[in-house]
Amino acid sequence: MKIVNSLKSVKLRHAACRVVRRRGRVYVINKVNPRYKARQG
């Protein structure tokens, strides 16, 4: 999982990317291609 400053750029990588908020952190998750996982905060 990558820790990135801007999740907007990560979300645009793939159509299946979803932005999710968990425990005050923002995550990008992708069930189709888990390589695109990312965290912010």
Tens of pLDDT, residue by residue over 1-41, are 888 888 888 888 888 899 999 999 999 999 998 888 999 98
Q: What pLDDT was estimated at residue 41?
A: 83
Q: What pLDDT was estimated at residue 21?
A: 94
Half-sphere exposure in the Cβ direction for 38 (13 Å, CA):
18
- The tokens describing 12, both together, are 């645009």
- The tokens describing 20, both together, are 């999710």
Q: What pLDDT was estimated at residue 36?
A: 87
Q: What pLDDT was estimated at residue 8?
A: 82
Give which of 36, 18, 39, 17 is closest to 27, Cα–Cα.
39
Q: Per the structure, how many domains does the chain have?
A: 1
- Domain containing 10 equals 2-40
Task: Say if CB 37 and CB 1 are below 8 A apart.
Answer: yes
